[in-house]
A = this chain, B = another copy of it.
Amino acid sequence: MYNTPNKRNCVDCLKRSPLFNFLTQEQLELVSKNKTEIDFKAGEIIYKQGTVINDVISLNAGMAKIYIEGLNNRDMIISFLNATHFVGGPGIFVDNKHHFSIKAVEDSSACLIDGDVFKKLIKDNHEFAYAILRFISEKSIYYFNRFISLTQKQMPGRIADAILYLSKDVYKCNPFDLNISRQEIGELSAMSTESASRILNDLQKEGVIKVKGKRIEIINENLLKEISIKG
């Protein structure tokens, strides 16, 4: 992790989060002045759970994972981040601590925006504040779905959810090449690495998906969705 000169100006940046569309040009200049663009290598930690929050981030390139460090060194992956994704942890409005960790899954670049500037923008620009409210609320709705998936579905249903999430929201294509491990698929679906591996194989035997190493292809999407719904 090293700093690069802030060559990009937020005003005309194409990689910035759509949330910043609600800012005025003047406010974008303010963000520009108070941001730092940082490159992270794969595996590097961007935020560490429990530490003090100094900034919020917008991912420019690469991919990262948000995860909670749970019991007995077991992590739970909340979601993955791509370019233009914004993260302002809930702690920034509560106790100013990170309540999850973020780690680069592949080489990534992110803009770190000063937390006080972020708060000032919320106070000054109610459209932006409203967009942040909507953003956080969308997360909450996502959490509700995760709750049902993780606590009421059996393993095939949870893996189906994970595959659909990865294909639709993360990689955004159908045969997709994973840059994450089986263990991480397990952490995404609240199960052991071995179980994740087994279920993937089972789904392949049933002809729902095709798995070849890191490549996964959805063969029968309707059936996969059915498995997801039935749990």
Contacts and interface: CB of A to CB of B under 8 A. Distances in A.
Interface of A: 68, 70-72, 74, 76, 78, 90-94, 99-100, 122-124, 126, 129-130, 132-134, 136-141, 143-144, 146-148, 150-153, 190, 229-231
29 contacts: A68-B148, A70-B148, A70-B151, A71-B230, A71-B231, A72-B231, A74-B152, A76-B148, A76-B151, A78-B144, A90-B138, A92-B137, A94-B138, A94-B141, A99-B140, A100-B144, A122-B126, A123-B126, A126-B126, A126-B129, A129-B129, A129-B130, A129-B133, A132-B133, A136-B136, A136-B137, A136-B140, A143-B147, A151-B190
Contacts of A137: 90-94, 136
A153 to B, nearest CB: 7
Given A130-B93, A133-B129, A137-B91, A147 B99 contact: no
Contacts of A136: 90, 133, 136-137, 140
Contacts of A230: 71
Closest 10 CB pairs of A and B: A90-B137, A90-B140, A93-B137, A151-B190, A93-B134, A70-B148, A70-B152, A71-B152, A143-B143, A123-B126
Contacts of A126: 122-124, 126, 129
Contacts of A93: 130, 133-134, 137
Contact of A90 (B72, B123, B141): B141
Contacts of A133: 93, 122, 129, 132-133, 136
Given A99-B144, A139-B140, A140-B140, A152 B92 contact: no
